[in-house]
Amino acid sequence: MFKIKFNNTVFVTSLILIIEGLSNLFCVPFALYYNESITPFLLPGIITIAFGLLFFFFSENNINKISDKHQIIVLLFYSWLLFIVLGTLPFLIDKSVSSNINILFETVSGFTTTGTTILSEVENLPKSILFWRSFTHWLGGIGAIITAIFILSDLNFGGNKLFSFDSNSLTKPVNRFRNIISIVILIYFILTFTQVLFLYIGGMNFFESICISFGTVSTGSFVPTNKSLAGFSPYIHYVMILFMFLSGISYIFYYFIITRKYRTAFKNEEVKVFSLIIFFIVILVCGILYFKMYNDIETAFREGLFQVISFITTSGYSITNYMLWPSYILLILVFFLFIGSCSTSASGGIKMSRFLILFRNLKATFKMLNPQSIDYDVKYCNKNLDENTNLSVLTYIAVFGIVFMLGTMALSLLEINFKESAFLSISALSSFGYPQSLASIPEAGKIILIILMLLGRLEIYTFLLLFTPGFSNKYR
């Protein structure tokens, strides 16, 4: 079932080993600065780089052209799995996290940019391990963006090709391919560096500034301290609001801005709808909070704005206990947690582009009921959608809902109450950080959530089709 060209596997393995090894070594200075053991990073770093160079030497130093969707899916799944397995090594060597399943959960939560944790006392971990934990967010975020732009768009499951570049990324000229990747990574670096600077200027210490920035730009929510973000100044909150919003925008939009293709950039309907929805939902939520709960308009505005953007970008950071808010506000927030923000960003959820297509399908259906209407076409960015793409988008939304319900039912069987099961299920599937530690959840529940986190990050089809009988033969 899992046949794939040998050279592609060797080359991809070499790249992953080298990237992961360099990432491990990047943590060594932090361990030295805080007088902590460097073994959890130095040992796996040296070993993985050595094996990576060995694999690179025996490969053809490039990926052969892949036209087989099954091979693309196997390589994609293998790459994420290898990153996660190697990412557990610092935790395993350090032994500060209690069990293997907890280590796996924390690592998967990091790389999928979910941010849900099983740690009840985060500060019991060494600072260098906390840095690695946040760094998995950052690595997973850029991995998710590159996966969405260059791989999922080629597979075109759930209409992904609509939300990326026009031409097939695996047939792009090598120079253009490298240019696009370089610009995307540069944007990611700029957002990270700028947020670190802004947070540090606002009084947050350097270590916390880096870790929080790693989480924000990747739309994750790991925090390196036990204290709540509510304890930081309003300035810090507004900085986080800004960068959560920026991190929820499509990197294709940023690419066109950087390359001065402004007309193409501002034709992007998804970014417009994303911004407008935030504007109206913030007015609604902040208005309710001011009249129902707060006497201070600034507090109502800041906390409402923060949580709306945190939910819609599937980040998960919080500066207040929003579980105490009126239930109808929570329903609004969870609804937009399903949707998520823009495609080709690091956020999870269905994505705003698919929601827009769903809305236009509903509009077209109502038009069909009107005997005087003649235009039933569903459009995206002023282009008519072909039937197959439209059906693919609608099917993806349906499958997303089915997986959410199955996850909820599976968690409910573990004697977790239904409301909590539903919130846990959608949080994992949408890569959203659950607001409380899951230290007490049964191991079976952790395994279910690990599967849901992987399903959400790989956009469901990729994960499911890998294990579908006959799929490999269909695309040969």
Average the pLDDT over 70-96 and give the result. 89
pTM across the whole model = 0.91
Residue 187 CA to residue 258 CA, distance in Å, equals 9
Q: Out of 5-19, 97-111, 367-381, give the one with best mean pLDDT.
A: 97-111
pLDDT tens digits for range 158-216: 555 555 555 444 444 445 667 888 899 999 999 999 999 999 999 999 999 999 999 99
Nearest to 159 by CA among 146, 148, 169, 147: 148
Tokens 């239904």 sit on residue: 418
Cβ atoms 132, 90 nearer than 8 A? yes
**Between vectors from CA 95 to CA 104 and to CA 225, what angle results, nearest 5°?**
80
Quote the mean pLDDT of the chain: 87
Model confidence at 239: pLDDT above 80: yes
Structure tokens at 432: 């959203």
Burial class of residue 292, CB neighbours in 10 A (0-12, 13-18, 19+): exposed
The torsion angle over the Cα atoms of residues 26, 32, 36 and 39, rounded to 10 degrees, is 50
Average the pLDDT over 385-394 and give the result. 83
Which pLDDT band holds residue 390 (cuts at 50, 70, 90)? confident
**Helices and strands: H and E segment counts in the chain:** 22, 2
Average the pLDDT over 60-80 and give the result. 71
pLDDT recorded at residue 473: 56
Structure tokens at 160: 């992904």
Which pLDDT band holds residue 153 (cuts at 50, 70, 90)? low
Model confidence at 65: pLDDT above 60: no
What is the number of alpha carbons within 13 Å of residue 9 lying toward its C-beta?
9
Average the pLDDT over 375-385 and give the result. 74
What's the DSSP call for residue 226? S
pLDDT recorded at residue 70: 72
Average the pLDDT over 288-302 and give the result. 93
Model confidence at 240: pLDDT above 90: yes
% of residues, the chain, pLDDT over 90: 63
Model confidence at 221: pLDDT above 70: yes
Higher pLDDT, 198 or 380: 198
Model confidence at 68: pLDDT above 50: yes
Structure tokens at 159: 């209409």
pLDDT tens digits for range 48-60: 999 999 988 877 6
**Domain residue limits, the chain:** 1-95
Higher pLDDT, 375 or 366: 366
Model confidence at 71: pLDDT above 80: no
